[in-house]
Amino acid sequence: PRLSNPYSLFAGTPSRPFFPRGFLWDEGFQLLLLSRWDADLSMDVLRSWYHTMDKNGWMAREQILGEEARSKVPKEFQIQYPNFANPPTLLFAVQALVDRLEAVSTAGIVDQLAQVYSMQGRHNSATEQTLTREYMQDLLQYSSRQLEFFMRTQAGEPLPGSLEHGYRWRGRTMDHTLTSGIDDYPRARPPSTRELHVDLFSWVTYMLSVDTELAAFARNGLELNQTREQQLESHLRLLDELHWNSERNMYCDVTVQPRDGYDELEDEGESEESVFVCHKGYVSLFPMLLGLVPPESPKLGHILDMIEDPDELWSEFGIRSLSTQDEFYGKGEDYWRGPIWININYLVLSSLHKHYMSGGPHQEQANRIYNRLRQNLVRNILDQFRQTRFFWEQYNPHDGHGQGTHPFTGWTSLVVLIMAEKY
């Protein structure tokens, strides 16, 4: 390892006393709220983050800058690897800003948005009434560079008997996939370089959908847009082919294991076979969380049933991170193995509100879940705030009490947007 050259980052922190540094995974969620309060400030943060991107499209998932930040992180965890990805949540903020610009024509905001994505730090200060193709082209360069980084460095190997490949988070250990953001969520045991991760496949597919939207408006973006549309269509198909388990009616990770009874001297064909790795919880929800499941799909019904089942994910305080029926529920460090996290619950509400409450055969169930979940989250977070005067990192799935780091005014503050129904 070597030290990077000195640089600065203007970013939010989820908890200044405990996490005085920038987290790529957290920042996109934090900006959803910040952009509602101060759009210019949020765009300054976006600009600062994107200016840390290297020529390959990589950004360090943790920005441990300065003595204060380094004092909180053991040295062995300070190293950042340029082939390790992290969820591209900044695109949430990008999409929210673009949606806002489409709804409200505000020349000052348009001009500021141009500054965020100017590759050379230049922008046109003339008053603009619309988001021009030139501005969209600057934005597209960043999003495309990051997308290509993901597709190149996180690609998995084809499964036995298949030419298709998915994606695999780098940096796996037996009990942790820190790069995924959901650190100790159960994965394949033992880890394998042949495994494929459904949440990462969902992130790449979401990136393609955002890139497709941006390319449609960019100057000379027709050819790129056609390519992205084809890639998006292919990924939506492969998401189901690779990761939907029709026996369990859920999306799952996949890994490879030796075929039972295979004799290399007598048997033909592959010596290995692919198997699903299924753990009901946040990972299995990602295709729905990112709006990749069509409203009319029967798969959506199975996902909503899983969410609403009190023996699986449902609690009176929010959606659990892992099913109570899972063998790893509440085990180990129990970080993402049961506790309720507000960022994922926000994504559940946001996805229901945007994609599934106004059409399709599941809209009645989607509305019921949305209303009950929103009420439960707001009530419990405010109850805990009144009792402790803190927002908490996570909430207990059995009695709702706040636990983990506090004060934690990072993504837990999304409760404000949940109250306002701003997604």
Contact 255, 198 (CB under 8 A): no
CA angle 396, 399, 402 (to 5 degrees): 45
The H-assigned helical ranges of 158-259 are 198-217, 222-243
Residue 393 is a catalytic residue: yes
| Number of other CB atoms surrounding residue 407 within 10 Å | 17
Question: For the chain, how are helix, strand and coil distributed in percent, rounded to 5?
Answer: 45, 10, 45
Give the 3-state DSSP-derived string for 89-112, with helices as H, strands as E and coil as C.
CHHHHHHHHHHHHHHCCCHHHHHH
Distances (CA, A) of 187 to 43, 158, 292, 333: 36, 18, 22, 15
Q: How far apart are CA 179 and CA 229, in angstroms?
A: 27
Torsion of Cα atoms, 45 then 378 then 350 then 32, to 10°: -10
User: Half-sphere exposure of 363 toward its Cβ, with a 13 Å CA cutoff?
Assistant: 10
Residue 111 is a catalytic residue: no
Torsion of Cα atoms, 226 then 232 then 237 then 243, to 10°: 160
Contact 299, 306 (CB under 8 A): no
Residue of 44, 148, 157, 183 marked catalytic: 183
Residues with active-site annotation? 183, 393
